[in-house]
Chain A
Amino acid sequence: MTKRLTLAATALSLALGTGAMAQDEPLKIGFVYSSLIGDAGWTFMHDQGRLMLEEEFGDAIETAYVESIDGGADAERVIRQFVAQDFDLIFGTSFNHMNPMAKVAAQNPDIAFEHATGYTQADNLAIYHTRAYDSRYLVGMVAGAMGDSMGVVASYPIPEVLRGINAMTLGAREVNPDFTTKVVWISTWFDPGAERTAADAMLDQGVDVLAHFTDSPAVVQAAEDRGKFVVALGDMSQYGETAHLTALDYNWGPYYVERTRAVLDGTWETDNTWEGIAADLMTIAPFADSVPEDVREMVMVRKEEIRSGAFHPFQGPLVKQDGSIAVAEGEIPDDGMLLSMDFYVEGVEGSLP
């Protein structure tokens, strides 16, 4: 005990000592996470990005994070706490952090704020987002090749999620024209119990493949337990050795590195980033052994076409659930339409909440 105490004290004084001796204070970067990091999922992937920052910049930066901050009055307090402790660059990784962050950003013009998935931008508040629908289309193709129906455990009916459901359905129907999709909305990003219940309900209705927008591995475990398939959010293959066909994978690291470098160089300015496979911000996880070779090839060809711009997941003809045409043949939808998407495509069952 005494020995460890001495050790800790020595370590502490060393840390303080080097800090005081260094010429520049390290750049302090804070992350607000909406759920627990865990070992897979949305927050885990953001944290991978944070770890990449530490690896890339070493002692030049210092990172910290607060987990499980979702809505209510907490987010603003945590962001203000970062400000009070002289953080230079603060990332909010969930939609619920947008309004609190915009409020704090307005009062602290010298600090750089970045918000994922929102729409409010300011001189010191940048927004960044991924075209996850690129990867959703590809995992949908795999789902279509391995089954005839899909059950989606969805969070909130916002454009981001609707784009994902639609892209998966379009991908699946490209390889399997009669493919149908069911959706259960559970109004949360993280609730393993509710996720599991929703997954089980859809398996009871006989769906072949599950998909999810939520953050825990519960849906993957449900598919594994019941001998069905799943396309996951983030590589969760450790939770479903046979069920886990593939997953959409977010690759936040390069973005975080680029933005941090900009702050270090003094060139950071507000921006609105929306990139997908073409910028390597999105990809898909390795295929399960059960996915046949021809399916893998077909998906990889599509992936390269999306990268080059030869193919767009929402290119026309895009048919809505009610049979009307959303995008005419030969046309590609503009970002405005994608950002405000509020409909299901043909093949999705049920109505929007």
Chain B
Amino acid sequence: MPLRLVPRTRPSRLAQYGAPVLALVFTVAFGFVLFLSIGRDPWAALHAYFVAPISSAFGLSELLLTALPLALIGLGLAIGFRANVWNIGAEGQLLLGAIGGGAVALALWGEGVPGTFVLVCLTGALAGMAWAAIPAFLKTRFNANEILTSLMLIYVADHLLSWLVHGALRNPQGFGFPESRLFSPEALMPILWPGTRLHIGWLLLPVAAVAIWFMSRHTLAGYRLRVSGLSPNAAAYAGFSQPQSVWISFLLTGALAGLVGAMEVAGPVGQLLPEISPGYGFAAIIVAFLGRLSPLGVVLAAHLLALILIGGENVQLLGVPIAVAQLFQGVLLVAVLASDVLVRYRIVRIGQLETDEAAA
């Protein structure tokens, strides 16, 4: 029985807002059975997942701190994805931002220059942009597939970071361990919420979200990006340049990802390490789609993902194995994404479809 997805002509408003809620209810019910079946108290586990992370100042600050990189990168990616520009290499652009920002922090190490962290962030954003410019150039000049080039540049960036922390940027007093010195205080992001790790970089999130919303809704550049995504032919007919949307998408995401990298090393990490990011650049791709490529949606999705990431650590303290924690996370994501698809599409049998069309 062959099945097909057919777009709904008018997705119901109610379904659009109700579907994520329904997905959440389904996931919670599934989690209840799952945790019960491995002999854990399901209430305690669900509490650890969804309530504990936001019921204390510590938990809330960590949630905001973890969602920040996901949201910033997701905002940039959503712009590109709308324009059919597939930057899969945000992780690499993040790493370059960490390298660029970290190099500045180390060059000014112990110099006591006030406000070094600003320079760290700016350099990070520029380094991320420069890295993103490579796949953009290859795409516009040689029509090279940007999915492949941006993806492969992640591994180059990873090795570049590894080489630097093993060599030029290694802590001379670090017994040969592959990591840099701890940055001087003036290179670290000032703390926004005293007693937590949440730093002032968080203030950039609302700014970036509003700016990107404004750009995509109310500027010509944003309009061009959306049109070239919706209908490349129409965009070409209107004289919109495709290379331009490639450049804008890549440079914007590169800058945001680079900024995130710099803020990670100058924020919660405080030094350069061989492993900087637990995969924010990849998770942000999920965030972009989970947020239906809209700025508000991306910000919400980033916090949902951060919540289940932290919840996954919390339930381990209750003796829930990491595999079960990750299974639960996976089910949540699949449920949300699948319900989203079903709101916008309906499943029909091929035979049924033909009958429908004949009737119409």
Q: Taking beta carbons and an 8 Å cutoff, which residues of A are in contact with B?
A: 4-5, 8, 11-12, 30, 36, 64-74, 76-78, 80-82, 84-85, 95-96, 99, 103, 119, 156-159, 162, 187, 339-340, 342, 353
Contact = CB atoms under 8 A, between A and B. Distances in A.
Interface in B253-304: 264, 267-271, 273-278
B268 A76 contact: yes
Nearest to A68: B322
A8 B273 contact: no
Contact of A71 (B39, B267, B273, B314): B273
Contact of B317 (A11, A85, A162, A342): A85
A74 B273 contact: no
B177 A158 contact: yes
Contacts, number: 99
A71 B36 contact: no
Given A66-B316, A74-B278, A76-B197, A158 B176 contact: yes
B36 A80 contact: no
B71 to A, nearest CB: 15
B161 to A, nearest CB: 10
A142 B314 CA distance: 44
Interface in B55-70: 56, 58-59, 62, 65-66
Nearest to A103: B270
Contacts of B56: 84
Interface string B133-145: 0000000000000
A73 B67 CA distance: 12
B273 A72 contact: yes
B344 interface: no
B278 A72 contact: yes
B175 A67 contact: no
Interface residues of B, number: 41
Nearest to B177: A158
Nearest to B310: A77
A339 B175 contact: yes
Query: Can you list the 10 inter-chain pairs with the closest CB atoms, starting with the nearest?
Result: A71-B275, A73-B268, A64-B317, A67-B322, A66-B316, A187-B162, A158-B176, A71-B273, A156-B178, A12-B41
A190 to B, nearest CB: 11
Nearest to A9: B41
User: Which has the most chain A C-beta neighbours within 10 Å: B59, B166, B273, B317?
Assistant: B317
User: Which has the most chain A C-beta neighbours within 10 Å: B159, B166, B264?
Assistant: B166
B276 A99 contact: no
A139 B242 CA distance: 62
Interface string B188-227: 0000000001000000000000000000000000000000
14 contacts: A64-B317, A66-B317, A67-B322, A71-B273, A72-B264, A72-B275, A73-B65, A77-B66, A77-B268, A80-B62, A81-B58, A103-B270, A156-B274, A159-B175
Interface in B36-62: 36, 39, 41-42, 44, 56, 58-59, 62
A95 B171 CA distance: 15
Given A65-B316, A84-B58, A71 B276 contact: yes
Contact of B275 (A81, A96, A99): A96
B177 A81 contact: no
Contacts of A5: 36
Given A73-B197, A85-B317, A157-B166, 14 more contacts: A8-B39, A8-B42, A11-B41, A64-B317, A71-B273, A73-B268, A73-B269, A73-B278, A74-B313, A77-B313, A156-B274, A159-B175, A162-B176, A187-B159
B331 interface: no
A40 to B, nearest CB: 17
A342 B176 contact: yes
B182 A158 contact: no
Contact of A158 (B44, B66, B178, B313): B178
A283 B56 CA distance: 45
B270 A99 contact: yes
B319 interface: yes
Contact of A64 (B178, B179, B316): B316
B275 A70 contact: yes
Interface in B311-355: 313-314, 316-319, 322
A109 B44 CA distance: 29
B166 A77 contact: no
Nearest to B318: A64
B40 to A, nearest CB: 8
Contact of B36 (A4, A65, A187, A339): A4
